[in-house]
Structure 1
Amino acid sequence: MPVVETRRQGAWIALLALCTVFAVLFAGLGAWQVKRLAWKLDLMARVEAGIHAAPVDAPAPGDVSPEDEYRRVALQGRFINERETLVQAVTELGGGFWVLTPFATTRGFTVLVNRGFVPPDNRAPASRADGQIEGETTLVGLLRLSEPGGGFLRRNDPATDRWFSRDVAAIAQARHLDNAASYFVDADDTPVPGGLPVGGLTVVRFSNNHLVYALTWFALALMCVGAGIRAWRGGRRA
């Protein structure tokens, strides 16, 4: 066999091997996205069921798990209003602050409660005095996991009391809270005296592009298969 034809055949074989490797790789990525799709659909169904279920007792500090997020929980106790924390927020009502107030439960631990949104003009507690609930009370809300670090391109600064995310551990340390739970609770839309803070603004939204990604990877795998078939035929002709 002439040297030129041997080299040409070798090139076709190398191309076939390369197409086979990429076809397997892309098919594997597509299968992984299918698994991710099933996981995401299960998560969305679980969260949807949780936010509409009857409230359960809020878990003790050491009993919470990632599966508890967005579960409706009930708390009984009193607010520690003098230790509230304002966290910058952007909501459907505009820019302003979340009001995170420690809640001393009757079960002996403390939970940070996101009581809701206030506009910048009402960041001072005195401007919404009617909403500063005193004495023992009961509240219902959605359990949320901590948001450590800060917001997008902005880090929390406890030293200057500037907060961009609901970092439970950092806020609990800054406010000297004892036996604090590792989660916080978004209060529901139960009316508050004076109208502020505005609760019930939790946004439950999950991106779900796994099907698109899976189809893309499978399409690339089929393209590699087509290229491999062409390389195989080219090798036979060579």
Structure 2
Amino acid sequence: MKRYIFPLILGVVGCAILLNLGFWQLRRLAWKEQMLAEISAQIAGPAQDLPTEGTDTRALKYTPVMMAGATTGAEVLVLSGQKGVGPGYEVISAFETGEGRQVLLDRGFIPEAARRSPRPGTALIVAGNLHWPEETDSYTPAPDLAAQVWYARDVPAMAEHLGTEPVLVVAARIEGDTQGVTPQPIAITGIPNDHRNYAITWFSLAIVWAGMTAFLLWRIRRQQI
């Protein structure tokens, strides 16, 4: 019996750890699905005016807003891509509201071929959502200011460069001349939610571990016969 104790303990403890990790991922899945449902409801909520000047919009991420005014013609292009279209850019324009405030407007996507197309200032009515992307890290290249090409949406840096408030509105619908820019509304599809796959992986490993334990115990029993 002593020969069975160690592999049995190892098998039980290993299975317990793996099952616990699987159930933890299921709890994370429930939490993430609830969070995504809340974000979806917030994105689709009633539109509001822009928050007052000086408001930190990080806490207002996804809030729907409506604004009228015009782009100034100043913009930066953020390297991007679109399935079925290929490489291109997100157009981030300086936008002046009717009250004289200037904010950042993510107008949407253009393909690579439209990079040098003229986009002078134009009057627009925009329905969109406040956003504060977290796309930069220590590996993000510095923007190519000469070419006006950026590699991530960095709200404070783009606002300083274009001379606007650090407020970014991602357009969902635009009334007016879009100048060939296709809006890319905020959606939860870009938020990762792999907890179900992680849970399946841990539960599968638990089954394999249990099978290996049973096989080892069987081998020990065969050796004793």
Q: TM-score range by the shorter chain?
A: 0.7 to 0.9
> Which residue of 2 is the match for residue 75 of structure 1?
67
> Which residue of 2 is the match for residue 140 of structure 1?
127
> How many Å separate the matches in 2 of 1:123 and 1:219?
48
Identity of matched residues, %: 27
Structure 1 residue matching 2:32: 3-state secondary structure: helix
> Which residue of 2 is the match for residue 217 of structure 1?
202
Work out which of the two has the higher radius of gyration on C-alpha atoms and give 1 or 2. 1
RMSD over aligned CA atoms reads 3.5
User: Would you say the 8 A contact 2:170–2:184 is kept in 1?
Assistant: yes
Shift of 1:222: 4.1
5+ unaligned residues in a row in structure 1: which ranges? Answer: 1-7
Shift of 1:166: 1.3
2:11 pairs with 1:9: no
Structure 2 residue matching 1:24: 3-state secondary structure: helix
For 2:41, which of 49, 52, 55 is the aligned residue?
49
2:143 pairs with 1:157: yes
> How many Å separate the matches in 2 of 1:17 and 1:76?
68
Judging changes above 3 Å, is the alpha-carbon distance between structure 1 residues 87 and 37 closer, same or farther for their aligned structure 2 residues?
same
Structure 2 residue matching 1:80: 3-state secondary structure: strand
For 2:77, which of 86, 95, 102 is the aligned residue?
86
Structure 1 residues 82-111: Cα deviation after superposition (integer angstroms, max 9, x where no partner): x31122221254433222112345678643
Judging changes above 3 Å, is the alpha-carbon distance between structure 1 residues 154 and 91 closer, same or farther for their aligned structure 2 residues?
same
> How many Å separate the matches in 1 of 2:207 and 2:157?
50
2:173 pairs with 1:189: yes
For 2:108, which of 88, 100, 116 is the aligned residue?
116
Moved more, 213-222 or 35-44: 213-222
**Which amino acid in the other structure matches residue 42 of structure 2?**
G
User: Would you say the 8 A contact 1:13–1:231 is kept in 2?
Assistant: no
For 2:32, which of 35, 40, 48 is the aligned residue?
40
